[in-house]
Each structure stands twice: as structure tokens, then as C-alpha cells.
Amino acid sequence: MNAPAIRTVEEAPAALVRERPVAGSGVGSATGAGLTQILLAGWAVAVIFPFVWMVVTALKADPEILSSPWRLPAAAQWDNFARAWTQARIGRFFFNTLLVLAGSLAGTLLVSSMAAYVLARFPFPGRNVVFYGFVAGLMFPVFLALVPLYFLVDDLGLLGTYQGLILVYIAYSLPFTIFFLTAFFKTLPNEVGEAAILDGASQYQIFFQIMLPLAKPGLIAMGIFNFLGQWNQFLLPLVLMPDENRYLLSQGLYFLAVQQGYQNDYGALFAAMTITMIPTLVVYVLFQRRLEAGLTAGALKG
């Protein structure tokens, strides 16, 4: 096919663009897209299958679990969940975890937002030193500080208490939360705060009544992020919560797995595992868009 005739100089670029082949089009692009879809589908199956198998196994009787692990249950054994909730005390561990996370999440978001606001908005000597001091906390794995942390919490009289674990969770979550929220607060408009100062507002009023509502997407994202991380935390409660009546879900499930291995109550064990995983799954499904929007906004604005 002949190229279209170019009557004027102005028409030359448009004609050349129409004739230029589109990059990435053709068989190679289609093959790459198909391969990507296959890999993503395989990854989805690898992630979803263990969870589905766990839920199905939680509805089986113990003989079925051992004799036919890959078949559907002949009849749903809902009493497995009842035994896990009461006899295995998963219900108690569940509410212990909710109590600790309510305090730790509230404290983490409050302290980190105040620190991030100051670091983002107020120049003072040593500001970069303080900021990078928090960032440096991201480089140290928590297990490196377990021994001194244990003795510190014990000396404070907080070993085996909810308050001690809440304070440790807050300290453990501060570095990344402050790092993220500092970048988020830097992007908020200065004009709003300046107008509030002219109207006689104090810095506390500006922070709590103006800046915090504006930072709501970042706070929601960090709240979900920290909830998922703290809910699945195992090492800290294992070391700092020796009281069996105050076990959190992670450590309670660990000792339950050891105990049920001797009692052969596998149905209750899989039911307890399902109960443990459901809250994180529900939170992520319900707030997935808010989490992605908050993280994306912070990344783009930062």
C-alpha cells in the first residue's frame, strides 16, 4: 500500500506517525501478555489453594482428615470451630489480640503522626538526624534486640502485661510509619495552616482539626499495614507474654498445634487456624482499595 500523499509541510509529522508501527504490537506482545496471565494465574492458585484446603479440612472429622485429605467433607463438622473457640481457648486468645492491637494501633498512629508532622513542617537543628534515626530503625531485625528488650520490659515491671506488649508494638511500628507519614505531610498544602494561624488557631488546633483530616488516606493505609503486621506478630508475644491466660492468637495457635498433635484433634486445630486467618483476610478485602490508594498517594506525593 502506498503512503498517503503529503500536500503540506505541516501534514508531514502526522503522516509519518500514522505510518510508524506501534511499539510492542504483534505476535510477540500477545505471547508475552499470555505468558504473564498464565504466571499470574499459577501464582493465584498457589496462594489460594492452601487457604481453601485449610478451610475444607477444618470442616472434616478426624478420620476423614487422615484417610481422605483431598476430598470434600461428607458432612460439615461445625463443632470443630466450637471446640477450637472454647476448649482450645482460641476465643480468649482472639480477644486478647484485639485488646493489644486496639491500643498499639491507636498509639502508633497518634505518636507517628505527631512526630511526622513536626519533622515535615518545622525546621529545627538536628531535624535530619532525628528523621534518619527513625529510618535507621528499619535496618535492624527485631530478633537482634530480643534479649535487651526482655530485660528492659522486665525491669519496668511490664513483662507479661498488655501494656508492655502494646508499648513494644508501638516502638516496633514507629520507624516505617513515621517515614511514610513524613513524606505524606510534606505534600499537604501550607496555605490552609497559614490561613488558620491568621484566624488565631493554635498549632494543636491546626494539627488535630486540619492536618489530621487531610492526612486521612495516609493514616488509613498505615493503620491497615500495621494491623496486618501486628496481627501476625509471633516472636514478640512469644518472648514478652509468658502468662498463658494472656496469650495472643499467634502464640496460642503455636502451643495449640503442639498440644493437638498429641491429642489427635486435628479438626479443632485446622478450625483454629481458619479463625486466626479470617480477620486479616476480611480487613484486606474490605480495605484493599483504601490501602492501595493511600500507599499510592504517599508514593506519588512523596
User: Which among 208, 139, 211 has a CA at the least distance from the CA of 181?
Assistant: 211
The CATH fold assigned to 80-301 is MetI-like fold (1.10.3720)
Distance of CA 226 to the CA centre of its chain: 5
**pLDDT at position 1:** 47
Per-residue tens of pLDDT for the chain, all 302 residues: 454 454 554 454 554 445 555 455 556 677 878 888 999 999 989 988 988 999 999 999 988 988 888 888 888 899 999 998 988 889 999 999 999 999 999 999 999 999 999 999 898 899 999 999 999 988 888 888 899 999 999 999 999 999 999 999 999 999 999 999 998 898 888 888 888 888 888 888 999 999 998 888 889 889 988 998 999 899 999 999 998 889 999 888 888 877 766 567 888 889 999 999 888 888 888 877 766 666 665 554 44
Please enumerate in sequence order all residues whose Cβ is within 8 A of that of 119, keeping only pairs 6 or more positions apart, or say none: 127, 130, 131, 178, 182, 185
**pLDDT at position 131:** 93
CA distance linking residue 99 with residue 244, whole number of Å: 16
What DSSP letter does each residue of 19-33 carry, written as one string? HSPPTT-SHHHHHHH
**pLDDT at position 261:** 60
